[in-house]
Amino acid sequence: MLINELVKLSGVSARTLRYYDEIGLMRPSAVAENGYRQYSQDDIDRLQQILFYRELDFKLEEIKKLLDHPDYKVKEALKKQFELLQKKRQYIDDLLITIEQTIQMMEGELKMTNEQKFDVFKNKLIEENEKSYGQEIRDKYGEAQVETSNKKFRDMTEEQYNAMQQLEQQLFERLKEALVSGDVTSDIAMEAAELHKRWLSFSWAKYTPEAHIGLAQMYVSDDRFTAYYDERVAPGATQFLHDVITVYAANK
């Protein structure tokens, strides 16, 4: 199948297909002497997989890593995609219900607590965290600990949720300031670690220095965790935070 035929079949633009070729996400099985890309059935099936993952908001580099893994099995992937898309559909259904209830509240037909207004958004954050890190945190902390933390997060009031978000922004700012000096034992570095502890305590059932250090180790051992702070603060921020937490927790 030539590129224009694949465009017509899939709805994906030729420009996008060329970009996928450029980054190695989906290369044509053959290129004719005249330069025309030729796509096989395997290529077509791979494109379908890519589009499923894109609908689930996976980044292109994550998709490439998944599809190129030697243990990747299409049937198992489809089952997982089906499960994730069902969860996404449930989120949209819940969102629609929340909008409908909010309209009814404004028209005086329904009473709605502030907590109910934000339940759907908190559940969405939990689902995103589960998708990205669920297995890792369960392996490290156990099923009961994770479920307890999720429940504590769901039960947050609007004020607690807003306070948690503000605290994280303060953490980013302090971490950026501490990173400039490079001193993991400085007062501002210790303040950043304290802010991180307070931020965790919004969802953790119980804080322990050992668990704090364990989480910091997870940050630097997995690229997905590392990207969180490196992208929001500065390159190297995750490793720096790990070192700061190690110093901080050792003195607790």
pLDDT tens per residue across all 252 residues of the chain: 999 999 999 999 999 999 999 999 999 999 988 889 999 999 999 999 999 999 888 889 989 999 999 988 988 888 988 888 888 888 788 778 777 877 887 888 878 766 666 676 666 666 666 666 666 666 766 666 666 777 777 777 778 888 988 999 999 999 999 999 999 999 999 999 999 999 998 888 788 999 899 989 988 987 777 888 998 999 999 999 999 999 999 987
**Separation between Cα atoms, residue 183 and residue 243, nearest integer Å:** 10
Q: Which residue has the tokens 């449930």?
A: 90
At the topology level, CATH places domain 3-60 in Multidrug-efflux Transporter Regulator; Chain: A; Domain 2 (1.10.1660)
3-state secondary structure of 37: strand
List the end-to-end C-alpha distance of the chain, in Å, as a whole number: 64
Burial class of residue 124 (count of CB atoms within 10 Å of its CB; 0-12, 13-18, 19+): middle
- How far apart CA 117 and CA 104 sit, in angstroms, is 12
Residue 79 CB-density burial (10 A; 0-12 exposed, 13-18 middle, 19+ buried): exposed
Q: For the chain, what are the domain ranges?
A: 3-60, 74-141, 158-250
Taking the model in full, what pTM does it have? Answer: 0.50
Whether the domain at 3-60 and the domain at 158-250 fall into the same CATH topology: no
Residue range 158-250, CATH number: 1.10.490.50
